[in-house]
Amino acid sequence: AQSVTQPDIHITVSEGASLELRCNYSYGATPYLFWYVQSPGQGLQLLLKYFSGDTLVQGIKGFEAEFKRSQSSFNLRKPSVHWSDAAEYFCAVGAANFGNEKLTFGTGTRLTIIP
Amino acid sequence: DAGVIQSPRHEVTEMGQEVTLRCKPISGHDYLFWYRQTMMRGLELLIYFNNNVPIDDSGMPEDRFSAKMPNASFSTLKIQPSEPRDSAVYFCASSSGHQETQYFGPGTRLLVL
């Protein structure tokens, strides 16, 4: 069974500072990995995804993530955060085999931006 | 593109009542997912459909929950009878293929008193 761990429940960052959100996954084969963002009262929006190829993935809103197989990690980064980045961030893992469309989500990391 | 549409956005009901949540997926998408989000359990997949057929309902908590997809543009999630522990935000999402991006609706916030 696949699983995702987001060890940081809440992170506070100053506006303009860099950001890294941690994600560790457990899956028996090559995973499909996703980062979603949820603003208050909204649904989830995809930031980026990794299926194969280049392990550094670029997403929307200036985010990027790096897949490290040896560490079973898929950490999300942004060089300079903006106040509008305050939200909850979810890492998710999916199966590569056709016929299995389930995504397993982490418990999320809430990001607070301070001036 | 209207996105995934869910109704109602908010529902307050009393324990024992039947609750029906509705979802209209993005046109052309052949996968539809129902999720539940709570503080205690996070975001859980309840059930998903492919081409209107339920594929995996292993996340449905108990027989009080049922989901249908009578056609490609409509799905319902029904809780009967509802209980206070069913209080949560229920999301519907749709996608266009294998592990393609899931597009989420705005959610239905359910409160069972």
Q: Strands B65-71 and B10-13, how do they pair?
A: unpaired
Nearest to B91 among A43, A95, A107 (CB): A43
Per-residue pLDDT of chain B (113 residues; tens, 9 = 90+): 689 999 999 999 999 999 999 999 999 999 999 999 998 888 999 999 999 999 999 999 889 999 999 999 999 999 999 999 999 999 999 999 887 889 999 999 999 99
Taking only the tens place, the pLDDT of each residue in A54-110 is 899 999 999 999 999 999 999 999 999 999 999 999 999 988 776 678 889 999 999
Nearest to B43 among A45, A98, A105 (CB): A105
d(CA B91, CA B107): 4
Which of A27, A101, A103, A104 to substitute to test the interface with B, most B CBs within 10 Å?
Answer: A101
**B43 to chain A: which residues are within 8 Å by CB?**
44, 90, 105, 108
